[in-house]
Structure 1
Amino acid sequence: MFKYQTFCILWLWLSALVFNASVVKEGDVRLTGSKLAFGGRVEIYHAGQWGTICDDGWDLNEAHVVCRQLKFARAKSVLTGENYDRASGPIWMDDMECKGTERYLHACTFKGWGITDCSHKEDVGVQCDPGGNSSTHVLLLSSTLDHSIALSDDLGELFDNESFCDLTIITLQTTDSTTLCAHKVMLAHVHAFNITKDTQNITVQVVPNCIPHFPSFIRYLYTRKIEVPFSSVQCLHWLASQFGEEQLMRDTSLLFSQVIPDDSTFETPVSLHEYALETNDFVLQENCVRYLVWNFQNFTTSSVWTQISDGLLSALLLRSDLVVPDELFVLKAVENWILNNVHTSLDTQVKLLSLVRFPIEQLTTQMMSNFSLYSTHKNVFNDNILKALQFNIQLLTSIKSRAKMLIDDVSYQPRIYTSSLWSMFFGSFSTPQIRSHGSYDTRYVTRYDSRYGYNDGRRRSTSVPYHSSSIFLDRRINWAADIFMNQNECSNRGMRCPSLPMASLQSYETNSFPGVVFFNKLLLVCQDKYVFEIQDFKNNMAVISRNATLSTTYPCPDDKNTFIFVVRPVYI
């Protein structure tokens, strides 16, 4: 029986839910400034003000403390060099050192409150792992469940028993209708229901396929807890979007990541992206776009490539995490799309061509004249070639004068280039080629199998230019890549591995050029088919997860991975 005492507690709980009341206390942390689910810039509350934290000294130990303080299972990665929303508060902490077992971030060692030599460009972020499992049923919990587990069970029992109902929900179908017994106090916070004290019945329109899942959705509004079979993911997501349940919409968005890689035709991520635009789901939009940019090379060979909208194509071309052999490949892909969409306006064509990063590729007029679009858009091509030339002249002048050149234009920033000039496969220095069926050609790639380990040595080396600019092409820097499977291997290389396995990519050269820094990347490729995770190198190290279904952005069911080490020089 639903007791009066529980009813009073319910009113207090609803008040906190409706008015979003929360008490912030000293040492609290939060993640802000990013559209990533469970990730963002780390901020800590001190002296009555939120402030950021410098990324100096950060690794997974510090990230684990933040994520556990926020009630997540663990940290997934440390985020550095991200373009967050502008932070206006102080930088509270610098030179952090955590053991990884602290309950609160401020219990770790650091310089002192507000003592730092960093700027907000060095604000650290983390990506947390919400936990879960890879079975066909996934439990989604709201943030309030940590304090209301028993109450949630009572509310679920109230809904199931249909006790003390004072509201009838009528769901309309094509030829029939169904009713649900409910309680106004539980649903008053749902603005779409427009419930007042005099309301006795409400009528809702639900698409036919989602009628069977509607009772589960209403029960979620009581308990903030729900089991989600994959067969019901889209319906629950749609219901959440229609009735303003952002937490449920965000959590179900993440489940779509489990099915996106299953479709080698790329129709699923493209269709889901269109659906995400209709429902204004930014998390789902990001999940779809990220998969497409990470697997752009395969995507451009699919039948759906020429059918995508110019809006989606623009969104892909704006990304610096676009994985391609080189910028010339991007230009060819854009030309292919334009030639297959002959009704595209000239203004749109110019916009798309302008998103190609000409300064990175060192494209020449002679090379451009071989493109079919050159005669139509000669001014666009020539203007961008001139822009590349100006960049090189300014860069050379800057280096000679040892002055720093300010570069804000994204055209001067590299993407993730996998050509042999910038990347290493384990077992080969060759470029990943696309076969006719759209998989990576890894005949010479060392595979990692969780049962047997690696089938040859785990160190590779290469020499790359200091920068893609033509003035650096004859000035090279040597890099060594390792994968460590145990602590002995780490120690033998003079490394400290906070987790295993770990990847290392480092240069031992001391000569450097002003303004050139390296934001190197590790690409994990599943079954030679698709990139399912990209890790940043932090202090020359990157984490490799064995249990991909739990700890990576997209699942890789059997842990048979290949690796691409990418050297990524950036002039800042």
Structure 2
Amino acid sequence: MIPHSSIFTLWLLLSLPNSGCARVFNLFGLNVGDAGPTHSLDHSADLSDHLGKLFDSGEGCDLLLLVSSEPAEEGADVTVCAHRAILSQFPRFNASQTSTSISVDVGRSCQQHFIPFIRYIYTRKVDVTSSSVQCFHSMASAFEVKQLIEDTGRLFHKILAEDASFHSQLSLFEYAVETGDPLLQNDCLQYLAWNFQNLTASLAWPNVSAEVLRALLSRSDLVLPDEYALLQSVEGWITQRAKMISLESQVELLSHVRFPMISPEKLYELENSSALYNTHKNMYRDNMLKAFKFNVLLLNKLVPNPRFDKQSIDYQPRIYMVEPWGADIDPSKPAPAPYIPQHYTSYNRRHQYNGYHRLEQPTVTPRYTPLTESFRTPVHNSLIFKDKTVAWEANVLKKQEECLSTGVRCDSLPLLKLSSPHQSSYDYVRFGNRLVQMCQGKYVSMVHDFVNDVVELAADGTQAAAYPCPEDKYTYRLVVRPEFSWSSRL
């Protein structure tokens, strides 16, 4: 045993900066009393796997989760043995020290996902599909597992585009209504509106609820061939569900069709082509008369009639893809090569220096021309503009030199510009044009508004999408949307 006096002496020697012992420690680069540099030892990457094995084995579990759902089904209940210390991170489990078991109510369709959900709490890992994302979001919300709520919420946009059957989109909308989530409701309706044509061709179309259809028909961002195609789809839906929907509800749904946006030729044929004309003759006749008047009179002639509200959405177009209102464009195509004049002989100058001649040529500035697509549309779908057209030019601007050549100020590149030198020549019409971005021609992933005639494109020539596309393979369609202007002249 070392005497206390010797320990004190050793401490004193070490504490003196000029002592022999201190010099010996310093020879090895050690500063007595200093812990030295910190070395981080991080093995947390293995923690998830270890906790996953702990959950799978059930070793040491001390809390029984009794999972049930309504309606009850014999033999369908699930029992999970978990660890109180793990679940206590989330108070909504009520994993108190005195309880040995807790009851958990989970919807029947989500029971199969409950065990992977509890395993996620251990490992922070889980595989989610389009059919299971709603269940994981629901269970995460019920137990306030915040990270899983956020991650599954971000997945909704991607998963909405993955299900071509539209069952997931409709199910998610019902879920958003049940949980009172207005953002998710709008996301679902927006996808259904942008892909309305695909929805009407899917097996899920007959099962769309009247509430969903009514919400869609009230929107101006429906992407479809034309308004007549919408009328046919609504009539088909009503015909398939005729025994389940009252005549009053049928009329109410049909009244959301914008008859003034249907061409006069199609209106004229409705009496014979419509499957529901004879059933709702008065409604059809009233709307057809309204549409015919709209086609032959400017709105200022209709305003004195109290039945015509110039602010009504009946006079506003949706996003019609059919010709002549739409034209395809490919922003990824290369622009024409810069034009460089080849002959400047008339401008060459010879200068004599000490008997030698030197040939000089002026500086040549290349002329840059952007990728350009041109097409024409009617001024408006109304008959009074039947013989008048507007020439449109779409420019894909990728260089500042191309912006200068077209007279556009480009704060960012690339840009897509859609303009007409004559679009301001019609006092009664303004244009709310759109760029429809499609994923490989399969579904609409984004609809862009033209602001001051331009849309900003991403650096790779594509554009950010609300509903992502695999490998970012997009196609684009320009859509011209003429509307009657509510200027003082009307």
| Structure-2-length-normalised TM-score | 0.65
Name 1:345's counterpart in structure 2.
Answer: 246
2:455 counterpart (527, 542, 546)? 542
In 2, distance between residues paired with 1:171 and 1:541? 58
For the 8 Å contact 2:325–2:479, the answer to whether it is kept is: yes
In 1, distance between residues paired with 2:317 and 2:144? 39
In 1, distance between residues paired with 2:199 and 2:396? 29
1:554 CA displacement: 1.3
- The residue type equivalent to 2:270 in the other structure is M
Q: What CA RMSD, in Å, does the superposition of the two structures yield over aligned residues? A: 4.2
Is 1:291 the counterpart of 2:191? The answer is yes
CA distance 1:246–1:507, change in 2 (3 Å) = farther
1:412 counterpart (315, 319, 333)? 315
For the 8 Å contact 1:322–1:415, the answer to whether it is kept is: yes
For the 8 Å contact 1:258–1:554, the answer to whether it is kept is: yes
CA distance 1:268–1:526, change in 2 (3 Å) = same
Is 1:282 the counterpart of 2:182? The answer is yes
SS of the equivalent of 1:347 reads helix
1:240 counterpart (117, 120, 140)? 140
In 1, distance between residues paired with 2:139 and 2:324? 49
1:260 counterpart (137, 160, 174)? 160
Deviations 1:223-277 (A, max 9, x none): xxx6564346333212134346788546523313223333333343334334444
More off after superposition, 413-422 vs 364-373: 364-373
1:319 counterpart (219, 224, 239)? 219
CA distance 1:398–1:246, change in 2 (3 Å) = farther
Structure (1 or 2) with the larger CA radius of gyration: 2
Is 1:554 the counterpart of 2:456? The answer is no
In 2, distance between residues paired with 1:186 and 1:348? 50
Name 1:213's counterpart in structure 2.
Answer: 116
- The residue type equivalent to 1:367 in the other structure is E
1:536 CA displacement: 1.1
Name 1:563's counterpart in structure 2.
Answer: 476
Unaligned 5+ segments in structure 1 are 1-152, 221-225, 427-446
1:540 CA displacement: 1.0
For the 8 Å contact 1:459–1:481, the answer to whether it is kept is: yes
Is 1:230 the counterpart of 2:128? The answer is yes
- The residue type equivalent to 2:249 in the other structure is T
Is 1:395 the counterpart of 2:313? The answer is no
SS of the equivalent of 2:444 reads strand
In 2, distance between residues paired with 1:385 and 1:510? 29
For the 8 Å contact 1:399–1:514, the answer to whether it is kept is: no
In 2, distance between residues paired with 1:215 and 1:462? 58
SS of the equivalent of 1:480 reads strand
1:322 CA displacement: 0.5
1:412 CA displacement: 1.9
1:219 CA displacement: 6.9
- The residue type equivalent to 1:214 in the other structure is F
- The residue type equivalent to 2:241 in the other structure is N
1:544 CA displacement: 2.6
Is 1:483 the counterpart of 2:483? The answer is no
In 2, distance between residues paired with 1:501 and 1:311? 41
Deviations 1:355-411 (A, max 9, x none): 1101222547632212121111111111112333455646143899xxxx9744222
CA distance 1:347–1:550, change in 2 (3 Å) = same
1:552 CA displacement: 1.1
In 2, distance between residues paired with 1:243 and 1:217? 13
Name 2:229's counterpart in structure 1.
Answer: 329
Give 1:142-221 correspondences, 5 Å limit. 170-172=65-67, 174=76, 177-182=79-84, 187-188=90-91, 190=92, 202-206=102-106, 207-215=110-118
- The residue type equivalent to 1:357 in the other structure is R
For the 8 Å contact 1:482–1:503, the answer to whether it is kept is: yes
In 2, distance between residues paired with 1:473 and 1:209? 60
SS of the equivalent of 2:395 reads strand
Name 1:425's counterpart in structure 2.
Answer: 328
1:353 CA displacement: 0.9
In 1, distance between residues paired with 2:156 and 2:423? 45
CA distance 1:448–1:528, change in 2 (3 Å) = farther
- The residue type equivalent to 2:195 in the other structure is N
1:560 CA displacement: 3.0
Name 2:378's counterpart in structure 1.
Answer: 465
Unaligned 5+ segments in structure 2 are 1-44, 56-61, 69-75, 338-369
Name 1:6's counterpart in structure 2.
Answer: none
SS of the equivalent of 1:553 reads coil
For the 8 Å contact 1:399–1:513, the answer to whether it is kept is: no
Aligned identity (percent) is 37
For the 8 Å contact 2:303–2:309, the answer to whether it is kept is: no
1:528 CA displacement: 2.1
In 1, distance between residues paired with 2:322 and 2:415? 23
1:308 CA displacement: 2.3
Is 1:367 the counterpart of 2:265? The answer is no
Equivalent pairs counted in the alignment come to 385
Is 1:383 the counterpart of 2:286? The answer is yes
For the 8 Å contact 1:296–1:322, the answer to whether it is kept is: yes
SS of the equivalent of 2:472 reads coil
Whose helix proportion is higher, 1 or 2? 2
Deviations 1:496-554 (A, max 9, x none): 33443321111222744446332211011221222211111111111233679993111
Give 1:494-533 correspondences, 5 Å limit. 494-509=407-422, 511-514=424-427, 516-533=429-446
In 1, distance between residues paired with 2:133 and 2:118? 14
1:329 CA displacement: 1.0
1:484 CA displacement: 2.4
1:495 CA displacement: 1.9
- The residue type equivalent to 1:501 in the other structure is P
